[in-house]
Chain A
Amino acid sequence: MKHIFSRNRHLVQRIGFTGITLMAILTVTPIIATVIYILIQGVPAISIEFLTGFPHDGMRAGGILPAIVGTLYLTLGTAVFSVPLGIAAAIYLSEYAADTTLTRTIRIAIINLAGIPSVVYGLFGLGLFVLFLKFGTSILAASLTLSIMTLPVIISTAEESLRSVPQGFRTVSISLGATRWQTIRRIVLKEALPGILTGVILGLERAAGETAPILFTGAAFFLPRLPHSPFDATMALPYHLFVISTQVPEMPIKIQYGTALVLLAFVLTMNLIATIIRSRARAKRQW
């Protein structure tokens, strides 16, 4: 009580607010600085040859095409497995599951999948896909590993989005004689689509930037050609950046920043698309 009536409480408030604001500024400034710095340092390295050429001279010259293409393949491969599975799981949780022990176990499992360290996913992928199922270090094995890692992000955002569709929509549809699945597919999924899409893109953004899970499941140090099949290993932007910034001596700094910029651009574009979809959907929403 003493504090509530103390005279300098407005001074305390001012100091407190200033402190908190300062903390927020100190948190956000490095993020903006990081992006701008890489932009400034990386832009001079970008050229058509850099984006469409193969690396040569021990990666100290040339372009990064195989790494760009590899990252595209891995991201698409991840989407192929994790998007249908993740959305289906979200539909189960939001539309079918009752609050039982089993459902709670599923939720705990999802939370745990989200928390497992990325390098442990790498070990798992190596044990199951590369060695046990004999896929070898390949795009397939790496995509599957990334898919399972991405799954919890997709499931939880999609579920949230499905749940935000008002119950009345379902009741009306079912009372008009539609089956449960028809209701879900034509009404609920349609309404929840922007939210689901946002989650999917954010999940894939994570997968595109990850290095640890693909270290032993599909990433190649250097590959002088593009991968031909899902059973080929591939170069990838994040792993390539790791390689040229730690493993290759006397690496030109320009190429390093250029590679970082391309990776960042890849990730930022996905992030931007997700943000736009989300804010558009919010503006359009009529319920």
Chain B
Amino acid sequence: MEKSLNWREFIITRLIKASGYSAILFVALIFFFLVREGVPAFAEVELKSLFNIRWYPIEEYFGILPLITGSLIVTIGATFIAVPFGIGTAVYISEIAPRWMREILKPLVELLGGLPSVVLGFLGILVLSPFIRVFLDLPTGLTALTGSILLGGIAVPTVVSVAEDALDAVPRAYREGAWALGATRWQTIWRVTLPAAKSGVLTGVMLGIGRAIGETMTVMMVTGNAPVLALKLASIISPVRTMTATIAAEMGEVANGSTHYHVLFFIGIVLFLISLGVNIAASSVVFRAKKRAERILS
């Protein structure tokens, strides 16, 4: 009895440990399979033409610059929406709202994070893009701007939840100190609470931007999918095409093992590395802030 229990305990402990390590294995596997299918692109397409301004795979033009600028412009647009609204909502929820309001708002914002992106894209096609077309008098409402607005909405919950956590974590004594000095609540928020939560808020913003770069379905449905170089300010009101949308739209139709197939995987590597960079940067900000706090407190 005693012995069998020990054996079971031993096996279960091992299983639990193995599961714990699995996350590392998965990241490695994802990277490995992207590289395995994506790196042959270098052998088939010259580096110079890979970073060219023409994406026209049917005639073997695999320049990914338009896709990169497309992703960039849509993401920048989304940032302009997600950052003020995300931080504003986070400040409202954690500093201004009465308790009952908080209890309603938090799950609502969480709900936004759970809305399928394909539903938002669907409404984007039927409601938002006709509105933008008429309102701005454009030939088509399927533009980078339309994508940016929806993408901003998709990034907001991430910004709100991380920023709100950070604001919540600011010790009450900080606020009380400011009040005691005669600061108004607004001054306290602006000059004490927000600066104290700065690193957490920044992390939220970075993760939100990361989410925006990686979003696929909404962007594919509403940005018009035109692989043109988006370098001017006016590009925001014209159709663009992002890296994610290109993969999603074209992978279904290419032959496995073709050049086009390898290049799409190569774009996947680029996206993987961007998200890796964003996430490592975001988590290092948190680690650094923690260390600083530990130094100050010890």
Listed in ascending order, the chain A residues whose CB lies under 8 Å from chain B are 3-5, 9-10, 12-13, 16-17, 19-21, 23-24, 26-28, 30-32, 34-35, 37-38, 84-85, 88-89, 91-93, 95-97, 102, 105-124, 126-128, 131-132, 148, 151-152, 155, 179-181, 202, 205-206, 208-212, 215-216, 238-239, 241-242, 245-246, 253, 256, 260, 263-264, 267-268, 270-271, 275
Number of residue pairs across A and B with beta carbons under 8 Å? 270
Residue of B nearest to A240 (CB): B118
A112-B276, A263-B119 as given contacts; A212 in contact with B216, CB under 8 Å: yes
B186 touches A13 (CB 8 A): yes
> A residues within 8 A CB of B248?
119, 122, 212, 215
Query: Would you give 10 A-B contacts (Cβ < 8 Å), ordered by A?
Result: A20-B96, A24-B105, A28-B109, A106-B20, A119-B244, A119-B247, A123-B33, A209-B115, A209-B119, A245-B221
B115 touches A34 (CB 8 A): yes
| Chain B contact residues, majority secondary structure | helix
> B residues within 8 A CB of A263?
116, 118-119
B122 touches A241 (CB 8 A): yes
Q: Does any Cβ of A come within 8 Å of B177's Cβ?
A: no
**Which B residues from 170 to 185 make CB contacts under 8 A with A?**
181-185
Q: Does any Cβ of A come within 8 Å of B30's Cβ?
A: yes
The residue from A5, A102, A117 contacting B215, defined by CB atoms under 8 A apart: A117
Known: A23-B84, A202-B114, A211-B118. 12 other contacts (CB 8 A): A26-B85, A118-B216, A120-B271, A123-B33, A123-B251, A124-B33, A180-B13, A216-B251, A246-B221, A263-B119, A264-B115, A267-B114
Query: In the complex, which range does the number of interface residues on chain B fall in?
Result: 35 or more
B123 touches A116 (CB 8 A): no
A115-B279, A245-B122 as given contacts; A180 in contact with B88, CB under 8 Å: no
CB distance from A42 to the nearest CB of B (A): 11
A119-B247, A123-B251 as given contacts; A256 in contact with B214, CB under 8 Å: no
Across the A-B interface, the 4 shortest Cβ-Cβ residue pairs: A117-B214, A92-B20, A209-B116, A23-B88
> A residues within 8 A CB of B135?
none
Q: Which of B21-29, B41-49, B58-66 touches A?
A: B21-29
The residue from B8, B33, B120, B182 contacting A127, defined by CB atoms under 8 A apart: B33
A124-B30, A211-B117 as given contacts; A216 in contact with B252, CB under 8 Å: yes
> B residues within 8 A CB of A216?
251-252
**Which of A24, A35, A111, A246 has the most chain B CB within a 10 Å cutoff?**
A24
The residue from B37, B110, B182, B278 contacting A115, defined by CB atoms under 8 A apart: B278
